[in-house]
Amino acid sequence: MNSVTPPPPPAGPSAGEGTTGGEAEPWLDREALARLDPMLDLLAESHVSLSSVTDPAEARRVHVADSLSGLACPEVRAAKRCADLGAGAGFPGIPLAVFLPECEFVLIDSVGRKVDFMNEAISALGLENARAIKARSEDFASGEGREAFDLVTARAVAPLAALAELASPLLREGGHLLAWKGEPEPDSEQVIAANRDRLAMEIEGVREVMPYEGSRDRRLYLLVKAGPTPDGLPRRPGMARKRPLGGG
């Protein structure tokens, strides 16, 4: 499996605005991270169970910096329409929307209180390129979301093979899935390779990142939609995890 070619440092207002000298990665720049403070204040004050990390200073590293590490991939910086799966409290979708104003973000979650929080955060940040919707991704992919995106993101949501299945019907041919992972997932890698025709998804590379000093190893899995959506996708909601391909 090939590694993702390291991109040049983010530049320009969409990726590096507010960084030191216009050169530092935004996930390592304290001033850049502060752009998300209004969202972190809402997270700290929320009575809804959204995350185990709600202290703004800690959330700035654990959530915001980790989310923005996705900007290390040029496929993310080039995207024009992105769907964020299982968006939860809005990470990584909302931080990425702040730094990629030319990209439209649709944040998808099936839990109404989480969707309400995300839309409140979007409003507090004054974002015009993001919206959160209450839906199962399979239902969304059967309607207006079908093959409508050039990027799908997912952070701490599901095994990689399940994410590949959920992302496939949402992506245009040639579009990408970026999945935030800690440990490698060799079993999922094998399932994806063995089910190439059923998924139309291929692993393009894995990039190791350190979003903040002292962070555990983080891996960004990059997958590409390698053909039209196969017949049978999406399956019924929940099937990707209840009855995963490969029987795992």
List the CATH number of the domain containing 228: 3.40.50.150
With respect to residue 51, please indicate whether it lies within any of the assigned structural domains: yes
With respect to residue 100, please indicate whether it lies within any of the assigned structural domains: yes
Instruction: Name residue 132's beta-bridge partners.
Output: 107
Name which of 108, 113, 168 is nearest 140 in CA terms.
108
With respect to residue 17, please indicate whether it lies within any of the assigned structural domains: no
With respect to residue 16, please indicate whether it lies within any of the assigned structural domains: no
With respect to residue 129, please indicate whether it lies within any of the assigned structural domains: yes
No. of helices (H) and no. of strands (E), the chain: 12, 7
pTM of the model: 0.88
With respect to residue 42, please indicate whether it lies within any of the assigned structural domains: yes
pLDDT tens over the chain, length 248 residues: 444 433 333 333 333 333 323 346 888 888 889 999 999 999 999 988 788 888 999 999 999 999 999 999 999 999 999 999 999 999 999 999 999 999 999 999 999 999 999 999 999 999 999 999 999 999 999 999 999 999 999 998 999 999 999 999 999 999 999 999 999 999 999 999 999 999 999 999 999 998 887 787 789 999 999 999 999 999 999 999 899 987 64
Contact 25, 38 (CB under 8 A): no
How many domains would you assign to the chain? 1
With respect to residue 145, please indicate whether it lies within any of the assigned structural domains: yes
Domain extent, residue 131, equals 22-247
Contact 30, 19 (CB under 8 A): no
* Structure tokens, 245: 């391909």
Name the helix (H) or strand (E) containing 240. Answer: helix 239-242
With respect to residue 6, please indicate whether it lies within any of the assigned structural domains: no
